[in-house]
Amino acid sequence: MPSTQLSEPSPAELAAADTEAAAAVSKQAGPTAEPERADSAAEPESTGLADDVATPPTASLALGPVQRIVRGIGRIPVVKVEPVIEGGAYAAKAVAGESFPVRARVFREGHDKANATVVLTDPAGRQSEFPMAQIWPEGLDIWEAWVTADTAGDWTFRVEAWSDPWATWRQTAEVKLPAGIDADLVYREGHAILSRSRELAAQAGNRQAADRLDGWSQLFTIGPPVEAVLALLADPGLEAAMAQWRPRELVSPTAEFPLQVDRRLALCSAWYEFFPRSQGACRDDRGAWVSGSFDSCHERLQAAAAMGFDIVYLPPIHPIGLSCRKGRNNTLTAGPDDPGSPWAIGSAAGGHDAIHPDLGDFEAFGRFVAQARSLGLEVALDFALQTSPDHPWTTSHPEWFSHRADGSIAYAENPPKKYQDIYPLNFDNDPDGLYLECRRLLEFWIARGVTVFRVDNPHTKPVQFWSWLLKEIRRSHPEVIFLAEAFTRPEAMQALGKVGFHQSYTYFTWRNAKWEIEEYLTELSGQTAAFFRPNFFVNTPDINPVSLRSGLPAAFAIRAILAATASPSWGVYSGFELCEHAPLKPDGEEYLDSEKYEYRPRDFEAPGNLNLLITTLNLIRRAHPALQQLRQFQLHRSGNDNILVFSKRSGDDRVIVVLSLNPAAGEQAELDLDFEALGLADHSEITVRDALTGSVWRWGRRPYVSLTPDQPAHILSIESD
């Protein structure tokens, strides 16, 4: 791999970097603004696959991220910029219209004041500025701005620190004038700064602002009383004008950091998973199973849309191998009617670019996609990079597999478990061929209307491969969304988010105690939010959660409410709405009679179903922007380990969720609401409306709640008084 180590910059390179930095500063920089003296490096060579997408990943090409020019500490120091992913090697994530925080540590020598601005640059090169403010604790020099990118695409951002002569003068005036120290000199300095601001406004063509600033500046030429000057400094009009027109000196920009802005579905979505073969499956006159098909799934699409889902996700729809096919409940011997696991992909009928004959043909699939779109649904396919022993690749491309000492292809193992029906791929023997084939497969299905992919076990493939593949697809199809089904160690899950996965499955199904949930929600909404977007699936074909094993309807309601309100994306695997919960083994996570190995037609209108609750939750989510975002999340205290309380905000929309974690009995608590975190510091009471029941209450900071299995939660919106 070519070296990307940075060399010590020469004086000429430093001068060139200075010139580049000066060109990037704001138009409003004062006459005395100076460019940052920045460290630089030789122009970096490309270290992704070549820009030509047809170029295969040959060994002579590096597969790592692009090394970007790094700036050192400038005249006004800016350090610890967030969100910067792996030093700027990968893009931070946002979606169009989403507010997200940019933070940095900004300081300077002496007592003069520093200030800072975030500058966003959109894909067309247009820039927008967001003023930063110092946040608590002030002694740590933390500056923050909440910014918004309004369109999808590849953006950049930087932080510009600058010396603030207005704030410096104001601090001096507020100390010296009441003490009668150097009043005449203070007036002269104030007049000079306001005159510069007037010039900046005039140069920008804002005559009204220039005239107002001129009037204020003239006040200092007549020796005004101290009281008049202090009153002027308290004038909101002056402060607003100076916020826009104050001179900025010694402007010191950071490097440009990448920002990937996606469409909103990448952050906020509701998923419904079902097996097409089970929809409409039945036994014929001889008692043999007849598979469901794409055409028999249209009714399920209508039901998913009626419940408010955005995405229907299908497990693999490809031909299933016969060799080593698994039978019911994962037995090693399949019966004549056992359809096999859809994840054992490939047979004589084809591989990853084929459709299982029982499901229909490509015309039937086209009708399915068209029906979904007409209902406002997008179709997600499972992208599972593995094969059955019968897949065409095993003979046409044996180099894409690992081989054992006896020459046989190695099947998947997780000792002591063996998966004889699954062959994992080897990405190192022929990366050129395998990488390009994987890209071809995605392009194949995208051309047939698929806009979302759920990727099976991506953590068992090289992260470097995903970095390349996702970049390639984003280049030609930026609308396509990828969900990582990576139940693995935190670093591996997070790395997949950093290199481009839009969403990821999480540890949600294993977080049950209040302290576990609180800790996890705090992590997801804070330290990882810039690159790891969670999707809270309440169950999966592989995971029958412990929290649901009781079969109590309240247990299912609690987990659905928690998933739908705590995460902007959530998902349901069919059968959840019927409270299916029987485990294969008492201490195992597999479902009894798992749909992975057999047909499971269901009566979705059976008594006790949760269809209404799920529909209500999705309606609530659509009505409240606060529930569609990840980052503005706050825990509140309840004093009861079985009652969880949190709130979410977006603009003026505030939602408080109070949730019992006990499905078997009632729970009561006196809450301790943080009104300051809710932006209600000046309120003693608020009006709240429960979106689940319509009930309205007046709440103070310490309301009393009583929850029951029949009514285990409040989802409360704060109404304007």
Distance CA 617, CA 622 (A): 9
Query: Is-catalytic flag, 456?
Result: yes
Q: Are 201 and 247 in contact (CB under 8 A)?
A: no
Given 390, 456, 472, 598, which residue is catalytic?
Answer: 456
Q: Is 79 helix (H, G, I), strand (E, B) or coil?
A: strand
Distance, in Å, from the CA atom of 351 to the CA atom of 367, rounded to the nearest integer, reads: 21
Say if CB 445 and CB 479 are below 8 A apart: no
What is the rounded distance in angstroms from the CA atom of residue 141 to the CA atom of residue 343?
Answer: 52
DSSP strand pairing (569-573 vs 269-273):
parallel
The Cβ of residue 507 has, within 10 Å, a number of other Cβ atoms equal to 15
Closest CA relative to residue 38, chosen from 160, 164, 170, 156: 160
Among candidate residues 485, 580, 595, 598, the one labeled active-site is 485
Measure Cα distances from 263 to 330, 442, 481, 531, 662 in Å: 39, 19, 9, 15, 37
Rounded to whole angstroms, how far apart are CA atoms 565 and 648? 9
| CA–CA dist 437, 222 (Å, integer) | 79
Strand, coil or helix: what is 558? Answer: helix
Torsion region of 250: left, alpha or beta (phi above 0 gives left; psi -120 to 50 gives alpha): left
State which amino acid sits at residue 658. V
Q: Which residues contact 211 (CB under 8 A, 6 or more apart)?
A: none
| Residue 443 known to be catalytic | no
Name beta bridge partners: 117: 131, 160
* Contact residues for 338 (Cβ-Cβ < 8 A; gap 6+): 325, 326, 327, 328, 597, 598
Question: Which residues are catalytic, by number?
Answer: 456, 485
